Amino acid sequence: MKTIQSGAKSSEVYYLNELLANLGYSVVVSNNFGSATDSAVRDFQLTNNLVVDGIMGLKTWSAILQKTQGLFTSNSKLLSEQNLIDFSDHYSLELAAVKAVNEVESNGKGFLVDGRPKILFEGHIFWRELEKRNINPAAYVNASTENILFENYTRKYYVGGAEEYNRLEKASNLGGKDFEDAANCSASWGLFQVMGFNAVPIGYSSIDEFVDKMYENEGEHLKAFGLFLEENNLIETLRSKNWAGFALRYNGSAYKTNKYDEKLLKAYQKYSR
């Protein structure tokens, strides 16, 4: 594992926060190595007779992986080189371009350490999905649902990692099948975080089929991503390597702030060599 410390933002940090949360530390599972992660790492080092410096180097990684052994390690669920080759062939895309998108647009890992697909639950989308089913969301707003049901977008209630499933389950349990479907449609799923409400429009028979596929492997995550690109006319944009156009339509108008187009170009140049 890569050496990381306070201030880092990467997929390795996300994995570290997952492991720390599994060990009982109060950290938000995200790709940010903030003060809570730093404090947790230092406490872990102290209680495991390591040098207390807050740096996740070889010794600290080895110790924490040993403490959390038995968690998700199956390579059978992970994206393979052949998956990317098949994807490229299917859509007549350059492999280097596909690898660039995979590096920049995927979030590094499609599964939690407990083997479930990674999700992020969106309470404002849940509001809209209930309205689509002729359910009045306002009737279900109270102190216990404030973190899963709200009209306008906010990052306030994100918790990341396995805790997102607690939010999803709470939403699903507000009622019957309509609530369950609305909840699943309100989460983004897997390696490329495709929103559940895209399931039927991109070709799945139901949200249930989509969720079942997301549990299988990252190859299915890639397939869903391809269907999303196809439905939204992004294949030709990728084929022509119009990175700014692709980033605008996939990442939104803030893509320039995050330099997604530059990251895509840089990754493409690396793989095309």
Q: Give the pLDDT confidence of 18-62 residue by residue, as tens digits.
A: 999 999 999 999 889 999 999 999 999 999 999 999 999 999 999
Q: Report how far Cα 178 is from the mean position of its chain's Cα atoms.
A: 24
**Stated pTM of the model:** 0.81
Mean pLDDT of 124-147: 97
How far is residue 217's CA from residue 74's CA, in Å, rounded to a whole number? 10
Q: Say what the pLDDT of residue 252 is.
A: 86
Res 241: pLDDT: 96
Residue 72's pLDDT band (boundaries 50, 70, 90)?
A: low
Alpha carbons 154 and 9: distance in angstroms, whole number: 21
Residues above pLDDT 70, as percent of the chain: 98
pLDDT-based confidence at residue 114 (cuts at 50, 70, 90): confident
The pLDDT value given to residue 5:
95
Are 260 and 251 a contacting pair, CB within 8 Å?
A: yes
DSSP 59: H
Domains of the chain are: 11-67 (1.10.101.10)
Quick one: pLDDT at residue 73? 59
Q: Note the pLDDT of residue 254.
A: 85
Strand order in the sheet with 194-195: 119-121, 187-189, 194-195
pLDDT band at 103 (very low <50, low <70, confident <90, very high): confident
Does position 145 have pLDDT exceeding 90, yes or no?
yes
pLDDT of residue 109: 82
Asked if residues 18 and 110 have their Cβ atoms less than 8 Å apart, the reply is: no
Helix (H) or strand (E) holding 125: helix 123-132
